Amino acid sequence: MTDKYTTLVNQGVGKTIAKRLGLPQPAVLRRFKPGQPLVTGPVLVQGNTAGADELAAKLLSWDLDVRRHAVPREKLGAIILVLDELTRPEDLEKPVLSAAASLRDLGPSARVITISRPAAETASPAQSAARQGVDGFLRSLAKELRAGATANGIVLAEGVQSTSPSALAALRFFLSGRSAFVDGQFLTVATERGHLPPDFEKPLAGKVAVVTGAARGIGAAIARTLHRDGATLVLVDIPAAGDHLAAVANEVRGTALQLDISSPDAGQRIIDHAVQRHGRLDIVIHNAGITRDKLLANMDHGRWASVLNINIAAQLRINEALLASEHFRNSPRIVSVASTSGIAGNRGQTNYAASKGGVMGMVRASAPLLAVNGGTINAVAPGFIETDMTARIPFAVREVGRRLNSLQQGGQPSDVAEAIAFLASDAAGGINGDVLRICGQNLVGA
């Protein structure tokens, strides 16, 4: 799964040569496998608030090695910095310098996770400054960590506890190998909704999930991951992808639905198929998308309209059908695949970036509509992911795209799939209208 270069510079002679020449030495990332421990060593919980105490107690109940103070020279799996009661910028120093003193003890693929509050939700300039300061701090730290370690943050809306279901679920996601390629990012827990699963290895047990564009690449990885997590699957792709679709469906013991998602009745056909074949519909993953790259000066109707139609207009129509259906009202989940191109733009992708920006706008505006039935809608924004599509990019451009992030490598389709599986779970019920980047903290242009 890891690209050839990363394999080469992590073993034997290749490692020595890369070191001598000062070449990038991307680490082999820790990725989740069933049965694997959540984290690779003791977890240091720093911060003197009630939230920190409660969180430490909760982690102990999960049989983790929890430390409230650093033990000299002990290798750590993670540092959790609880910053949920900041009132002014000066409050940052003590917890931050305590964490600094333990940074050298972090093992490979370790984690630093902040827990803070939203800057937008306070009327005090000093408190807002302290809270937004966490953002600048964490994104800098993510650029300093090495050996596959990452830094990410959980932002608890005012009144949400550090031990609320989605806060704990987000913490588990960030601690685990599921978040291997997520770096320098924040997840916001907006409400106390959601509940932790009886079995953390099967968080989607009993759920019926639809994945569009499931015949290959990221879509197929999503199908495999949701299946591993216990979901029953409906796999959608265009008729031309029929053989690949059937193979994936067979592999994950799901059903295949050949369908052009841009047809006017696509939403109803998805609902009918799921209900008739599997008796229910809980989760829809909007993964299908196309690119038709061209500089804007050479853009034509065909390229513009097809990308906008497939990537956003079709999702809007399908969501309308879902929201109108009585079969999609029991804590439903929608997760859409956006792109860092939609956030920062990309040369040659005005059409694609408009459509993926559109996905994020749609997700934010749809969140209250889903919340009515205890549901959520969120997006993931992948950066450079190693797929057949990116394999066709010319070598030099591909190498730049791959290395220009804090982890110095491209992500795997499974990295996108893991984030989607997390957002689709019951435990993530307090996360709604959010966008999570899966990009290794890609330098995409602000």
CA-angle at 375, arms to 372 and 377, nearest 5°:
115
| Binds a second copy by CB under 8 A, chosen from 52, 149, 353, 407 | 353
Whose Cβ is closer to a second copy: residue 30's or residue 356's? 356
| Binds a second copy by CB under 8 A, chosen from 30, 31, 111, 131 | 131
| Binds a second copy by CB under 8 A, chosen from 40, 46, 212, 442 | 442
Q: Among the candidate windows 213-221, 281-289, 346-354, 387-395, which touches a second copy by CB under 8 A? A: 346-354
User: What is the CA 56 to chain-centroid distance, rounded?
Assistant: 24
Tell whether residue 342 is a contact of a second copy (CB under 8 A). yes
Tell whether residue 34 is a contact of a second copy (CB under 8 A). no
Q: Which residues pair with 113 in a beta bridge?
A: 80, 152
Tell whether residue 319 is a contact of a second copy (CB under 8 A). yes
Q: Among the candidate windows 66-74, 174-182, 200-208, 438-446, which touches a second copy by CB under 8 A? A: 438-446
Q: Among the candidate windows 13-21, 47-55, 170-178, 352-360, which touches a second copy by CB under 8 A? A: 352-360
Cβ 344 to a second copy shortest distance, Å:
6
Whose Cβ is closer to a second copy: residue 53's or residue 91's? 91
Per the rule left: phi > 0, alpha: psi between -120 and 50, beta: everything else, 27 is beta
* The dihedral sign for the CA sequence 395, 382, 144, 7: negative
Q: What values do phi and psi take at 180, rounded to 5?
A: -50, -40
Tell whether residue 445 is a contact of a second copy (CB under 8 A). yes
Whose Cβ is closer to a second copy: residue 233's or residue 370's? 370
Measured distance CA(87)–CA(328) in Å, rounded: 42
Cβ 126 to a second copy shortest distance, Å:
5
**Residue 445: how many other CB atoms lie within 10 Å:** 11
- Cβ atoms of residues 204 and 229 within 8 Å: yes
- Cβ atoms of residues 434 and 378 within 8 Å: yes
- Cβ atoms of residues 422 and 365 within 8 Å: no
Cβ 167 to a second copy shortest distance, Å:
21
Cβ 93 to a second copy shortest distance, Å:
5
Whose Cβ is closer to a second copy: residue 51's or residue 133's? 133
Q: What values do phi and psi take at 437, rounded to 5?
A: -85, 135
| Binds a second copy by CB under 8 A, chosen from 59, 256, 344, 438 | 344
| Binds a second copy by CB under 8 A, chosen from 347, 373, 389, 397 | 347
310 closest CA partner among 240, 259, 386: 259
Tell whether residue 205 is a contact of a second copy (CB under 8 A). no
Q: Torsion angle of alpha carbons 122, 125, 126, 128, nearest 10°?
A: 40
Interface with a second copy in residues 156-185 (CB under 8 A): 184
Whose Cβ is closer to a second copy: residue 117's or residue 273's? 117
Interface with a second copy in residues 244-303 (CB under 8 A): 295-301
Interface with a second copy in residues 82-121 (CB under 8 A): 88-90, 92-93, 96-97, 99-100, 103-104, 119-120
Q: Which residue type is seen at 115?
A: I
Cβ 184 to a second copy shortest distance, Å:
6
Measured distance CA(397)–CA(14) in Å, rounded: 23
Q: Among the candidate windows 137-145, 159-167, 172-180, 212-220, which touches a second copy by CB under 8 A? A: 137-145
Q: Among the candidate windows 213-221, 224-232, 237-245, 364-372, which touches a second copy by CB under 8 A? A: 364-372
Tell whether residue 152 is a contact of a second copy (CB under 8 A). no
Whose Cβ is closer to a second copy: residue 115's or residue 223's? 115
Measured distance CA(107)–CA(302) in Å, rounded: 51
Q: Which DSSP symbol is given to 213?
A: S
Which positions are catalytic?
352
Cα–Cα distances (Å) from 287 to 95, 221, 261, 371, 395, in that order, read 40, 11, 11, 22, 26
Q: Among the candidate windows 6-14, 126-134, 164-172, 207-215, which touches a second copy by CB under 8 A? A: 126-134
Cβ 265 to a second copy shortest distance, Å:
18
What are the helix (H) ranges across 233-338? 242-251, 266-278, 301-308, 314-324
106 closest CA partner among 83, 134, 74: 74
Whose Cβ is closer to a second copy: residue 136's or residue 198's? 136
Instruction: Count residues near a second copy (CB under 8 A).
Output: 90
- Cβ atoms of residues 390 and 401 within 8 Å: yes
| Binds a second copy by CB under 8 A, chosen from 48, 242, 368, 373 | 368
Q: Which residues pair with 154 in a beta bridge?
A: 115, 187
Interface with a second copy in residues 414-433 (CB under 8 A): none
Tell whether residue 31 is a contact of a second copy (CB under 8 A). no
CA-angle at 174, arms to 117 and 159, nearest 5°:
25
